Chains A and B, each alone.
Chain A
């Protein structure tokens, strides 16, 4: 990721948001942090800087021109976020001032930090494991209370603990297998393969819960993606405006008004909903509109759930059915304009759509009116139930695709090892499979194993030559 030669360098960057503000914070991290700040703030040059102390000082550049009066906070090596000697400079929040301070720091020997380098250093200095490092980003990016809560749990190490626990359990299994291989003649109590299989099944079940939590984590982190689809002029844009509480889409009575994909978002019960309004799906000779239709289809494919809209005052038309067939995945059917006329019963509509060849799985049919203010609650509540976000637990969840993929790999390998044990394959092959699984778990936390299996063996068993 970063050039290892950089590690000896002291890095600097603006830590607060760019732009005008009351205060801006600039961070220095690395072995020369104290030395550099003592050069810039002459009054600090005369005293010994203490960790976790705050100093008021005048900051000057190398030409001895005072740039600003600043507040300097010091963190000694081993006591900072990065684990390195760190200085935080709080200056007045003018972009001009912060620019000049950063230029001066470079003159004094610092280098400009690369994106993520502070967290990278914290990881390299064992202040954080990889799961926590990823959580830092997700705390910064969290947009809702629930997303923040989740990210903070990860940062605290709750998810790391779970992986750690799984790693311990897997190491236990491996230690027993290794002991049964290398000490088979020494009268140790070798674990019964059935017990081992039981343990591995438990392990797999625990991993399943973690990988299962990814759907929740992903929703908390990225939100739920809904795609409005249906014939032109059935009221998709009005529904979007209602859902996002805004005039996002231009609403007219002319069919085909929405030519491109319009995206809006809204928060409901702490969950973010990203909603796309797609061009009415219809074959068209209008070139621009045709591009819009292609985009709609792509958009529908990438969504978590399609909201398929039709005009219930007209009933399901042949055109609606044709469009419906173009959709894939899961769909919630919105019978719009329900206020205008009593249409067919939702069950009947559901039946009709399900009887069609092709098309998405119909989850439910909900009568709504895009113009009614209660429509938003009705739809989003229903979606929350479908996506499970209504009953999200407070348990630790994972929200990183990397962690999800590695957990899945670890789980598959554990599954493979269970089959191998059941087929009575040689222990050394089972051990190899489990080692690969352990490696996947250790990659999640950013660690690799060395002699821990043998240490475990010696701790657990009474061995004699």
Chain B
């Protein structure tokens, strides 16, 4: 092997890139990471937090599979919250506020201490192509680096343009240059490349804020770390966030200055996220709302910067100064860095396989914002999956694809490659049709066996995972086999608990299903309760909601039929009678792997699915 030759090259050191390069390195493959700024590895370019609803699920999923994000988030956590704690167990989500500096340090150390991994600074200008195969990358200085697989995780850097007011600067992030050349090469090769837009709010100096006019927001006292490997106590001191809100005055200033907003005078063509609108958008689209909330979040224990959550903007600096001062607490605010919008190229994700390799170019994998997503967690998940698949293809192992009923990661990638996206894609719990079985609490039960197959977690960690899984099933078995009899003494105890006396014998499992009963009650009935909350919590949820959960598993079984009917890649859709031209176009674009996936393509009718099935049967494909 030549000295400047690797098995895997990862371009970009963001949240996707980190996961993508650690996987092959851990699996023993010679890996190179190329980043344009070696001081910003694992940098949180926008909000200083990890997780959240549906996103917390994804962090836990890749953690069980051997990913890195959960550990870094746990160890840099400066405020912890379990969101939706008052709602049902399937939609609870873990979120941490993080010390940005420490997070980045942890990730940098993780890369530098990883065997088989080299990190260099440099800008990738082109791919080395041999026909339709990728063979490496060319750097700005013209030097060539060869590799068998390339994973691009370029974030917002491809032809990135930053907007503040009517001023535009090329760049992917404040202080970092844009990456020019790569997306143009891909466009020339025939990829559909489009523009998206995202934005970030101003960063404020903490000493310029009158905190007495804001509402302090405390985190949860109890820590449920993302990673099964983490300690269950805080690593860092915990801090407060603060709540304030915009006023009518704020809105008036914004309305009067819309002509200076690049979004509103047509300069920005990229599509922004509907769920994360700029303050200009909020004021215009929801003009009846007199006020919008904003959280003031510290970026680090050791910095003066405050992140102004919910107020992303691309208005000119002087307008930002004006309207910020109308927010209670910010009357004398000093802005350290103004908010701005970024426009960037993304590759229409229907052009990639579920394994995240592109269809037009072999050996080339894409992950993160380049595929049209938004969010650190969405990026990390894709980086991880791309890393595993790039490695597996080199190690001649099976491709690694999680199904929609196994993990949010499965939902994420299937949505992207099947439906594409027109706005930055963010995960929501409602995107998962099997939401009730994709819970944070049962992540280990869902994925431990799969993790074992991938082989990224150490033997000790694997034993830890398996032990939790086994303890849970033992506990469930005990609940099912222990019978509670309606004896007087027992019924007296039950009544004392505030529950109704038994009329006939029931199993402990049935008894636990009562709304007012939880695990702690069972102890009083002489049931040997496991003290490990990691074990009991998941079992209790499984028992309490078993009716709903069982029904969901039944639906998954039913849908499996279509999910397992594979469509051969050589199939020519235009040969099938009964498909409209539009349907043939869409099927050709997405090239679904299974009939189940074909069914999810919008605009492909049920009759088309039937026609494909008949054709496959008639031509002995099935």
Chain A residues near B (Cβ < 8 Å): 3-8, 124, 178, 180-187, 423, 425-429, 431-432, 450-451, 453-454, 457-458, 462-465
A3 to B293, CA, bound (A): 56
Q: Are B577 and A5 in contact (CB under 8 A)?
A: yes
Instruction: Tell me how far the C-beta of B193 lies from the nearest C-beta in chain A, rounded to whole angstroms.
Output: 24
B487 at the interface (CB under 8 A from A): no
Please pick, from B53, B88, B285, B293, the residue contacting A429 in the complex, using a CB distance under 8 A.
Answer: B88
B residues near A451, Cβ cutoff 8 Å: 602
Q: Are B578 and A464 in contact (CB under 8 A)?
A: no
Q: Are A7 and B276 in contact (CB under 8 A)?
A: no
- Asked whether A427 and B87 contact (CB < 8 A) given A4-B608, A463-B274, A465-B276, the answer is yes
A428 to B552, CA, bound (A): 12
A454 to B602, CA, bound (A): 15
Q: Are A432 and B548 in contact (CB under 8 A)?
A: yes
Give the most central of B52, B312, B577: most A CB within 10 Å: B577
Please pick, from A124, A186, A423, A431, the residue contacting B515 in the complex, using a CB distance under 8 A.
Answer: A423
A464 to B199, CA, bound (A): 11
Apart from A6-B578, A451-B602: 15 A-B pairs, beta carbons within 8 A: A3-B614, A4-B578, A4-B608, A5-B577, A178-B428, A182-B430, A185-B83, A186-B293, A425-B88, A428-B88, A454-B428, A462-B282, A463-B277, A464-B310, A465-B309
A312 to B90, CA, bound (A): 71
A residues near B275, Cβ cutoff 8 Å: 183, 458, 463, 465
Q: Are B429 and A428 in contact (CB under 8 A)?
A: yes
B112 at the interface (CB under 8 A from A): no
Instruction: Tell me how far the C-beta of B410 lies from the nearest C-beta in chain A, rounded to whole angstroms.
Output: 18
Instruction: Tell me how far the C-beta of B619 lies from the nearest C-beta in chain A, rounded to whole angstroms.
Output: 12
Interface residues of B in 372-430 (CB under 8 A from A): 428-430
Q: Are A5 and B91 in contact (CB under 8 A)?
A: no
B553 at the interface (CB under 8 A from A): no
Q: Are A426 and B429 in contact (CB under 8 A)?
A: no
Instruction: Report 15 cross-chain contacts, Cβ distance below 8 Å, ordered by A residue.
Output: A7-B577, A7-B578, A7-B611, A181-B84, A181-B87, A185-B83, A187-B292, A423-B515, A425-B88, A426-B89, A454-B428, A457-B430, A462-B285, A464-B276, A465-B312
Number of B interface residues at 8 Å Cβ cutoff, please give it. Answer: 46
A453 to B273, CA, bound (A): 17
Q: Are A427 and B91 in contact (CB under 8 A)?
A: yes
A187 to B311, CA, bound (A): 13
Interface string of B189-219 (1 = CB under 8 A from A): 0000000000000000000000000000000
A457 to B431, CA, bound (A): 13
A residues near B91, Cβ cutoff 8 Å: 181-182, 426-428
Q: Are B54 and A187 in contact (CB under 8 A)?
A: no
A residues near B311, Cβ cutoff 8 Å: 464
A residues near B52, Cβ cutoff 8 Å: 185
A180 to B614, CA, bound (A): 43
Instruction: Tell me how far the C-beta of B37 lies from the nearest C-beta in chain A, rounded to whole angstroms.
Output: 24
Q: Are A182 and B54 in contact (CB under 8 A)?
A: yes
Q: Are B53 and A181 in contact (CB under 8 A)?
A: yes
Instruction: Tell me how far the C-beta of B134 lies from the nearest C-beta in chain A, rounded to whole angstroms.
Output: 34
Q: Are A8 and B430 in contact (CB under 8 A)?
A: no
- Asked whether A426 and B293 contact (CB < 8 A) given A182-B429, A185-B52, A454-B428, the answer is no
Q: Are B277 and A4 in contact (CB under 8 A)?
A: no
- Asked whether A429 and B436 contact (CB < 8 A) given A4-B607, A450-B602, A464-B310, the answer is yes
Please pick, from A181, A187, A429, the residue contacting B429 in the complex, using a CB distance under 8 A.
Answer: A181
B residues near A3, Cβ cutoff 8 Å: 614
Interface string of B76-109 (1 = CB under 8 A from A): 0000000110011111000000000000000000
A207 to B602, CA, bound (A): 30
A464 to B578, CA, bound (A): 44
B289 at the interface (CB under 8 A from A): yes
Instruction: Tell me how far the C-beta of B79 lies from the nearest C-beta in chain A, rounded to whole angstroms.
Output: 13
B610 at the interface (CB under 8 A from A): yes
B residues near A183, Cβ cutoff 8 Å: 275
Main secondary structure of the interface of B (DSSP, over half): loop
A residues near B53, Cβ cutoff 8 Å: 181-182, 184-185
Q: Are A182 and B274 in contact (CB under 8 A)?
A: no
Instruction: Tell me how far the C-beta of B248 lies from the nearest C-beta in chain A, rounded to whole angstroms.
Output: 15
Q: Are B309 and A429 in contact (CB under 8 A)?
A: no
B residues near A432, Cβ cutoff 8 Å: 435-436, 548, 552
B47 at the interface (CB under 8 A from A): yes
Q: Are A5 and B578 in contact (CB under 8 A)?
A: yes
B545 at the interface (CB under 8 A from A): yes
B residues near A5, Cβ cutoff 8 Å: 577-578, 611, 614-615
A residues near B605, Cβ cutoff 8 Å: 124
Give the most central of A427, A429, A431, A464: most B CB within 10 Å: A464
A458 to B276, CA, bound (A): 10
B residues near A178, Cβ cutoff 8 Å: 428, 430
- Asked whether A428 and B87 contact (CB < 8 A) given A4-B607, A465-B276, the answer is yes
A457 to B430, CA, bound (A): 11
A residues near B431, Cβ cutoff 8 Å: 454
Q: Are A184 and B436 in contact (CB under 8 A)?
A: no
A124 to B579, CA, bound (A): 12
A186 to B310, CA, bound (A): 8
**Which 10 residue pairs across A and B have the least CB separation, nearest first?**
A426-B88, A187-B293, A4-B611, A462-B286, A464-B310, A465-B276, A4-B578, A182-B428, A4-B610, A7-B578
B residues near A458, Cβ cutoff 8 Å: 274-275
Instruction: Tell me how far the C-beta of A238 lies from the nearest C-beta in chain B, rounded to whole angstroms.
Output: 56
B residues near A457, Cβ cutoff 8 Å: 430
B residues near A426, Cβ cutoff 8 Å: 87-91, 545
The closest CB in chain A to the CB of B439 belongs to A428
A residues near B292, Cβ cutoff 8 Å: 187, 462, 464
Interface residues of B in 258-278 (CB under 8 A from A): 273-277
Instruction: Tell me how far the C-beta of B585 lies from the nearest C-beta in chain A, rounded to whole angstroms.
Output: 17
B residues near A428, Cβ cutoff 8 Å: 87-88, 90-91, 429, 435-436
- Asked whether A454 and B430 contact (CB < 8 A) given A5-B611, A184-B84, the answer is yes
The closest CB in chain B to the CB of A435 belongs to B433
Please pick, from B54, B87, B276, the residue contacting A463 in the complex, using a CB distance under 8 A.
Answer: B276
A residues near B608, Cβ cutoff 8 Å: 4
B residues near A6, Cβ cutoff 8 Å: 578
A residues near B428, Cβ cutoff 8 Å: 178, 182, 454
A95 to B91, CA, bound (A): 67
Instruction: Tell me how far the C-beta of A461 lies from the nearest C-beta in chain B, rounded to whole angstroms.
Output: 8
A35 to B74, CA, bound (A): 71
A451 to B285, CA, bound (A): 21
Give the most central of B91, B293, B311, B605: most A CB within 10 Å: B91
The closest CB in chain A to the CB of B85 belongs to A184
Instruction: Tell me how far the C-beta of B554 lies from the nearest C-beta in chain A, rounded to whole angstroms.
Output: 12
The closest CB in chain B to the CB of A7 belongs to B578
A residues near B602, Cβ cutoff 8 Å: 450-451
Interface string of B591-622 (1 = CB under 8 A from A): 00000000000100101101100110000000
The closest CB in chain B to the CB of A184 belongs to B84
A residues near B611, Cβ cutoff 8 Å: 4-5, 7
The closest CB in chain B to the CB of A120 belongs to B607
A residues near B89, Cβ cutoff 8 Å: 426
- Asked whether A464 and B430 contact (CB < 8 A) given A426-B91, A427-B91, the answer is no
